Amino acid sequence: NQLDLYRALPGGISAVRNVSDQLRQRGVHVLWSYNPWDTGTRREVAANGSTPDDATVFASVLKAGGADGINGDTMSHVPKEWWIDSLAVGSEDTYQPEGGGTIASMDWETMSVCHCKFDKGAAQGPVVALARGR
C-alpha cells in the first residue's frame, strides 16, 4: 500500500524521520503524499485486528516519520477527521488538498487556498485564502 513505500526505504520509517528532522533544521517542512484512490492494495491492520480508516493510520505514521502533514492528491478538501485524529496522537498536521479546499475546511487545512465558486453576477469580495503554515 502507499505507506509501504516509506517503510521500504533504506532504514524504514526511522530513517525517514531522520531526514525529516534534518530538513526541518534547515527550515524545510515535509509533506507526504496521500492517495485516496489507493483502495485496491493491502489495508492497514491495527494491533486488535481492526482495519482503521486512512485518517487514523496516517496520523500515527506521519508522527512516527516526522512529517508535517500531507498533500491530498485529487482531494477537493481534507475531512476534519484527519485533523482530529492528528490531535489525538499529539500532533497538529498540515493539510494541502489538491482541489484547494472549501471555506469550511480552511479551519483545519493549514495550507489550503479556497478555490471557491462565486456568483458571477454578485459583487466580488476579496479572494479568500489561508496561509498559516508552521
Please determine, for residue 111, whether its predicted confidence score (pLDDT) is greater than 90. Answer: no
Residue with cell 485533523: 83
Residue % of the chain over a pLDDT of 70: 84
At residue 105, the pLDDT reads 85
Please determine, for residue 60, whether its predicted confidence score (pLDDT) is greater than 50. Answer: yes
Lowest-pLDDT choice from 3-7, 54-58, 73-77, 106-110:
106-110
Query: Cα separation of 7 and 108, whole Å?
Result: 27
Question: For residue 75, which of 56, 58, 97, 93 has the smallest C-alpha distance?
Answer: 97
At residue 100, the pLDDT reads 85
The dihedral of CA 98, 101, 105, 107: what is its sign? positive
At residue 114, the pLDDT reads 63
Phi-psi label, residue 90: left if phi above 0, alpha if psi -120 to 50, beta otherwise: left
Please determine, for residue 104, whether its predicted confidence score (pLDDT) is greater than 60. Answer: yes
